[in-house]
Amino acid sequence: MFGRLGRFVVHNPWKVIAAWIVAAVALIVLGPDLSSVTNDNQSSFLPSKYESVQAKDALDKAFPSATGQTATIVVRPVGDGATLSSADQQKISDLATTVTGDHVAGIAGVQAGAVSPKQNVQLMFAKLTADQGDQKASSDAVKALRADLAAKLNGTGLKAEVTGDAAMGLDTQDSSNKATSIVMMATLLLIIVLMGFIFRGVIAVVLPILSVFLVMMVSQPVIALMSEAFGLHVQSFLEIMLVVVLFGIGTDYIVFLLFRLRERLRAGDTIQEAVATTVERVGEAIASAAAAVIIAFCALALATFKAFTSLGPALAIAVFVMLLAGLTLVPALMVKLGTKIFWPGKKWRRIPTAGPARRAGRLVGGKPLAVTLVSFVIMAGLAIGAVGFKADYDQQAQLPANVESTKAIKDMQNGGFPQGASAATDVIVTSTDGKPLDKHAMELYAQKIGAASPEMGGVMPFPAKPGSAPNAPKENVEYNGDGTAAHIQVLTKDSPFAAKAMDAVDGPLKDVAHSSAPAGGKALVGGPTAALSDIQAANGRDLSVILPVAAALIFLVLALQLRALVAPLYLMVAVGLGYAGTLGASVLMFQNVQGKPGMMFMLPVMVYLFVVAIGTDYNILMISRLREEAREGNPPRKAAALAVEHAGPSVASAGLILAGTFASLMLAGLSMMEQIGFAVSIGISIAAFLMSMFLVPAFTALIGDKAWWPGHKAVARDGGEPPVGRYDEDVVGAGARRG
């Protein structure tokens, strides 16, 4: 199959190149933009079986005017230590009326709220018309509101900052866009430096950059089309993930192709013969590696948390497009460029003398037991750290300290407000018998749930209704028109996204809310904190389903590719150990060294996506070369030595590039990206340098022909093992001259 594909590309290079250019132009011109299907509201990713979703639906039904999101506006005097005078408070009350009258796009109305205990901050609340699932409309509304407030307060001695879910979503998206630019520049610089060092060729540097850019132009509209067709919404950080994944994986595949192309040219092949043989020999390994990645990504479709459901298939589409490019576009460009790919370097013409790869091969083949034990101990030692993993769901903590929504929350804290005032927890009580709820009983109920736990900061009063007397008391309970539904907003003392707040809402608050609901009423608890508690439950369930299913499917791909059962088994064990070691190293860095309360809750899935799935590429490439050497008749130890010598440089180069690409995420300025960047770069390094270069070939050398059971059985040419640590130079050289 891959031989036929290679011959087709070799004989039709211009047709292949033209087809890719036409597809890219058509999709860019006619396809939708990826940003049109992004959404950062985590609660909108939950299925309807969770209580927070049911509470939102009940709230929307009973209070149609409350449908949409609420932005919290924090108003304070300009200058440190200043307090709000009576005149300032009147200005703020008038401001709410004025901004409402401005009919700001996406804003239904603004109401003045409470003054802080320290009298230095006053809150206002803006009702957004956009639903929680409409990220673009919410962001546009917050932008317009911020601009209107800044214009109205200019020269008044007051300053307003907007926070809340919608504002944090906007700030997250803006921070992600800035991070994407930083990561893109760092990634390009890294690829230029490393590819230039490895191949000493100008075009070898440009080839992966241009190829990946073309793939990005094709894949983004395709992802958007698929998202629109199936109603999927992906988070804004998908764009930065696409940059890293496509440049990482794409460069890896091109490195694999260039190494084998150079090997064939050194053996005396013409460029056409070299490209055709490269596609035939490396194509199967690349396709198997891509299949493992795509399957792992698509396994996320089994998740109940829709952010995973959308992210996995979106990345799978990008990897599939990159695979097609790697097997068609890149070989076609190789045919037309010829040996100019390596210009001006001349290193490609010379068969290398003994170097690090050959020495590593001799170590692996000469002392497989010692190498296996040392590699295993290192990986197992790191894996122990994974036991201490704690998930952190604090969305606020992921944002930079200098964005407006974060500064607003800090000002609220300085004023003495509970942190939960930025995102109150909703308790909705609906009548079960159709009769109006008892208002006296509801008032007592509100006080009780506001003190359900020491972690609760009381009930947030509702702003006075328009037309009320100036000194009218604010009410703790809001009722619908016929009094059959009531709405209470409860505050947490800590950040509404922190673990303490989640535990308090999911435990004591829900217990009291459910058990103490007034006669004839049913209570549901919702809001951002309750949604995060439900996300936590969904995340635990998803990991318990996705990881075993993905492991089984990757095992199947390995078994089919290797025509064996034993090798895939210990490869999967090694991959699992690498996964645990990656999490362990991350826990040691962030929880132990930096003292963070926990790790981003999505990190185990990110490590699964990029370490388990992509890291398997290196195992596939190495084990494929091991099988190839065994089929040539080399005994197990010699096959391991030759495999490390010849596949090792490409694995090491690809691993270095991919690990460096992900490490660039640590420059993004976002805590989430920093953790992902560190974890994945460490995980890729473990997969490429420790697992693929040493553990897998050493263990394969130990068990010998049993690795390929029940398929191919290697038969040594000389009928036996060579002396430990010594290999015939002619045989090693022949390995370089073979395909």
Domain boundary residue among 163, 193, 227?
A: 163
> Are the beta carbons of 553 and 312 closer than 8 angstroms?
no
Distance separating alpha carbons of residues 9 and 326, to the nearest angstrom: 11
**CATH number, residue 147:** 3.30.70.1440
CB < 8 Å & 24+ apart, contacts of 144-149: 144/104, 144/105, 144/106, 144/107, 145/71, 145/73, 145/99, 145/104, 145/106, 145/107, 146/404, 148/99, 148/102, 148/104, 149/73, 149/95, 149/99
Strand pairing class (122-128; 107-115): antiparallel
DSSP β-bridge partners for residue 478: 487
Q: What are phi and psi of 164, to 5 degrees?
A: 110, 175
Domain boundary residue among 145, 163, 181?
A: 163
Do residues 315 and 195 share a domain?
Answer: yes
Do residues 136 and 8 share a domain?
Answer: no
Q: 């989640």: which residue's tokens?
A: 502
The answer for residues whose C-beta is within 8 angstroms of residue 344's C-beta and 6 or more apart is 200, 201, 202
Do residues 159 and 200 share a domain?
Answer: no
Whether 62 is covered by a domain: the verdict is no
Largest CA distance in the chain: 101
Helix or strand or coil: residue 497? Answer: coil
Whether 17 is covered by a domain: the verdict is yes
Distance separating alpha carbons of residues 715 and 631, to the nearest angstrom: 8
Residues of the chain predicted below pLDDT 50: 714-739
Q: Where are the beta strands (DSSP E) in 78-218?
A: 107-115, 122-128, 158-163
Whether 231 is covered by a domain: the verdict is yes
The answer for residues whose C-beta is within 8 angstroms of residue 240's C-beta and 6 or more apart is 176, 179, 180, 183, 665, 668, 673
Task: Please spell the DSSP secondary structure of 25-62, one letter per residue.
Answer: HHHHHHSPPGGGGB---GGGGS-TTSHHHHHHHHHHHH
Cα 507–Cα 511–Cα 516 angle in degrees, nearest 5: 155
Do residues 182 and 138 share a domain?
Answer: no
Do residues 125 and 219 share a domain?
Answer: no
Domain count, the chain: 2
Alpha helical stretches, state H, 416-527:
439-450, 499-504, 510-515
Do residues 551 and 637 share a domain?
Answer: yes
Among the listed residues 707, 737, 705, 738, the one whose alpha carbon sits nearest the alpha carbon of residue 721: 705
> Are the beta carbons of 343 and 201 closer than 8 angstroms?
yes
Taking the mean position of all CA atoms in its chain, how far away is CA 120? Answer: 39
Here the tokens at position 723 are 């002396």
Taking the mean position of all CA atoms in its chain, how far away is CA 697? Answer: 31
Cα 212–Cα 213–Cα 216 angle in degrees, nearest 5: 85
Gap between the terminal Cα atoms of the chain: 17
Q: Is the peptide bond before 344 cis (omega within 30 degrees of 0)?
A: yes
Cα dihedral: 530, 531, 532, 538 (round 10):
120
**pLDDT score for 481:** 84
The answer for residues whose C-beta is within 8 angstroms of residue 329's C-beta and 6 or more apart is 16, 17, 20, 211, 214
Whole-model pTM: value is: 0.72
Do residues 131 and 229 share a domain?
Answer: no
Query: What residues make up the domain containing 607?
Result: 2-37+170-353+372-390+533-716
Do residues 138 and 246 share a domain?
Answer: no
Dihedral sign of CA atoms 544, 547, 553, 555 in order? negative
Do residues 141 and 178 share a domain?
Answer: no
> Are the beta carbons of 167 and 142 closer than 8 angstroms?
yes
Whether 631 is covered by a domain: the verdict is yes
Q: Give the CB-side neighbour count of residue 446, counting CA atoms within 13 A.
A: 24
Do residues 151 and 196 share a domain?
Answer: no
Distance separating alpha carbons of residues 146 and 300, to the nearest angstrom: 37
Q: Which helix (H) or strand (E) holds 210?
A: helix 202-230
Domain boundary residue among 163, 186, 210?
A: 163
> Are the beta carbons of 680 and 248 closer than 8 angstroms?
no
Whether 45 is covered by a domain: the verdict is no
Whether 670 is covered by a domain: the verdict is yes
Q: Report, in angstroms and rounded to the nearest whole number, the Rg of the chain calculated over CA atoms.
A: 30
What would the 3-class secondary structure string for 132-167 be? CCCHHHHHHHHHHHHHHHHHHHCCCCEEEEEECHHH
**pLDDT score for 538:** 83
Do residues 31 and 116 share a domain?
Answer: no
Do residues 138 and 282 share a domain?
Answer: no
Q: Which helix (H) or strand (E) holds 572?
A: helix 566-587
Distance separating alpha carbons of residues 114 and 89, to the nearest angstrom: 10
Taking the mean position of all CA atoms in its chain, how far away is CA 720? Answer: 49
Whether 386 is covered by a domain: the verdict is yes
The answer for residues whose C-beta is within 8 angstroms of residue 94's C-beta and 6 or more apart is none
Whether 722 is covered by a domain: the verdict is no
Here the tokens at position 498 are 């922190």
Here the tokens at position 241 are 């993930």
**Burial class of residue 469 in the structure, from the number of CB atoms within 10 Å of its CB (0-12 exposed, 13-18 middle, 19+ buried):** exposed
Distances from the Cα of 338 to the Cα of 183, 265, 275, 322, angstroms: 32, 10, 9, 22
> Are the beta carbons of 40 and 236 closer than 8 angstroms?
yes
